[in-house]
Amino acid sequence: MVLAALLLLPFLNTPFTIDDPIYLREAQHVLADPLHPQAFNMVWSTDLDLRASQILPGGIAAPYLLIPTALAGCAEWVGHLTQLVLLFAALIAIALMALRLGLDRRQARLTTLLTAACPAVLGMAGTVMPDIPAMLFVVLGMERIAAWRDGHKWPQALLAIVWLALAALTRAHTILVLAAAFVLLLDGIGADEIRASFRRFPARFLPILLTPVVYLLVSALTADPEHGGKNIVGSMMMADSSQMVIRNGLAFLAHWLLVVPFTIPWLVLRFRRVAVAMVTVIPGTALLVAHPRPVAAAAAATFVALADVLWDAVRRRDRVQLALWLWLFPALPVAVYFHLPSKYLLLSVPAAVMLVIRLIPQSRPETVRWLVPSAAIAGAVLGLLILLGIRDLAEIQRHAVAELIEPRVKLGEHVWFAGHWGFQWYAELAGARPVTQLPPLPRRGDIVVVSKIDSPVFARLWTGPRKTLRHLSYTSGGLGRIMDFRARAGFFSSPFGYLPWIWGPGRASLFEVWEVE
């Protein structure tokens, strides 16, 4: 908790960025309509005026967590402090879960340490998106599942249902962690043990059955009354390109090495067991896969680690290890979506770390002595660099609004903007209006300020007469970037690139000012 505070407190005033504005708008709406958090219209990535329930279906619990931020006038420090408190709660829950699964106090401390130092966790804690609370609710629910299996007390089952349903209401794909919960409830993973689990106390599986029921019921009760768009599955199935699925599958595997302390520690601690696979599978994949070879090698290394976890769990009939292995995969179906950034893996980070820490008793002490501190230090450093990159990107977009939009609005000009992320949030606060693909459209003499980094649809489709008054290119600081097409860095969106961060200065964003003729 101290480590997380030291790394995150300096970033309390980081501007809002990426998808933060969606959840902030929902939180503001909750103050007026507490039962329907997505029953309002807004313009987002498609540059269409749509219901929030069409733009981002699901995740209806997320805005309620930002009510303090909304009550504080959407002050940045309140939102980020809320995330830090939620992360503290998650670290406590992770320690409890580790102890519940048989780890000792030292192993529980190391589990929380590596989670707090995880670059993916630190990066998402620097936003107000719902991935930190989703991780918290999943761990709380799984801890109660383990307690219910051992204690058979109905309050334990009830809380497991509540927490896991809340997790799904925060990030919908977390519902798939029920597969891991099912295995955790078994007496063992042998055929006889599975059959015995159903005979001895079949009621143990009620949380698995009732959690989806509660999730669907609450979703129905809080649904947008005017919703007429896609559901969660429909919004994810945005394309059927096999290349997209392959790209996202590689991203899923690579994240476990690049921003989560799993693949490298597992392979180091299990080197004698997996050495042959490492020297054959990893170089072979790097040569054969038609993607950047370092990323293909990272994905292949994770594949070897995941296969070894499964093989070892089945060989030793280790129920807990098999459950933790299944806990790693809820994000994999997101491969059918247009991107698969590391934020979708956050709910699985505690399971990944616990898998590694469970190897410590059977590992060489001298290896553990250097590996765990090295993983924590490397993770904290990369996490800090990602946080600096997030702040850099967010500050640039807020500064662009202050330089390009606010003065024109104050002069009484009719100013529109094309672009999203944090730029949209601050542009709307300044009094500018988002352009859309459909009327009303900008008229002669109107000003349109375009943010190029997120490729707004309007800017790509607009064919009307215009005069470009200004190009403004912002260069990032020397400590690197997290979103850069050219450098293939895409911490928040994998189509930008597989790398979570790239070193050195570079063009962080480009803005154009148009006058419609």
Tell me the β-bridge partners of 433.
Answer: 416
**Residue 417 pLDDT > 70:** yes
Rounded CA gap, 391 and 385, in Å? 10
What proportion of the chain, given as a percentage, has pLDDT over 70? Answer: 96
In this predicted structure, what is the pLDDT of residue 255? 97
What 3-state class would DSSP assign to 121? helix
Of how many residues is the chain composed?
517
In this predicted structure, what is the pLDDT of residue 57? 84
Rounded CA gap, 460 and 285, in Å? 37
- Identity of the amino acid at 238: M
**Residue 285 pLDDT > 80:** no
Tell me the β-bridge partners of 489.
Answer: 484, 499
Residue boundaries of the structural domains of the chain: 2-39+52-224+231-363, 391-516
What proportion of the chain, given as a percentage, has pLDDT over 90? Answer: 81
Please give the structure tokens belonging to residue 97. 């879960």
**Residue 240 pLDDT > 60:** no
Which range among 56-70, 99-113, 163-177, 292-306 shows the weakest confidence by mean pLDDT? 292-306
Rounded CA gap, 185 and 423, in Å? 47
Question: What is the full DSSP assignment across 103-119?
Answer: --HHHHHHHHHHHHT-H
What average pLDDT does the structure give for the chain? 92
**Residue 231 pLDDT > 80:** no
What 3-state class would DSSP assign to 483? strand
Contact status, residue 42 vs residue 6, Cβ threshold 8 Å: no
**Residue whose C-alpha is closest to residue 37's, from 18, 20, 10, 56:** 56
Rounded CA gap, 205 and 149, in Å? 9
> In degrees rounded to 5, what are phi and psi of residue 323?
-65, -45
Please give the structure tokens belonging to residue 412. 């009484």
Range 108-120 burial, b when 16+ CB lie within 10 A, else e? bebbbbbbbbbbb
User: Which of the four pLDDT bands, split at 50, 70 and 90, describes residue 241?
Assistant: low
Residue bearing the bigger pLDDT, 490 or 294: 490
User: Which of the four pLDDT bands, split at 50, 70 and 90, describes residue 142?
Assistant: very high
In this predicted structure, what is the pLDDT of residue 58? 84
User: Which of the four pLDDT bands, split at 50, 70 and 90, describes residue 505?
Assistant: confident
H or E element in which residue 128 lies: none
Rounded CA gap, 261 and 417, in Å? 40
Per residue in 72-121, pLDDT (tens digit) is 999 999 999 999 999 999 999 999 999 999 999 999 999 999 999 999 99
Tokens 């309002």 -> residue: 40
**Residue whose C-alpha is closest to residue 512's, from 403, 412, 386:** 403
The 8 Å CB, 24+ separation contacts for 315-319 are: 317/188, 317/189, 317/190, 318/189, 319/183, 319/184, 319/186, 319/187, 319/188, 319/189
**Residue whose C-alpha is closest to residue 296's, from 258, 268, 264, 254:** 254
In this predicted structure, what is the pLDDT of residue 135? 98
User: Which of the four pLDDT bands, split at 50, 70 and 90, describes residue 214?
Assistant: very high
User: Which of the four pLDDT bands, split at 50, 70 and 90, describes residue 278?
Assistant: confident
Q: What is the mean pLDDT of residues 323-331?
A: 98
Which range among 332-341, 347-356, 420-429 shows the weakest confidence by mean pLDDT? 332-341
Per residue in 474-485, pLDDT (tens digit) is 877 667 899 988
Per residue in 247-273, pLDDT (tens digit) is 899 999 999 999 999 999 999 999 988
Which range among 19-28, 145-154, 499-508 shows the weakest confidence by mean pLDDT? 499-508
In this predicted structure, what is the pLDDT of residue 479? 79
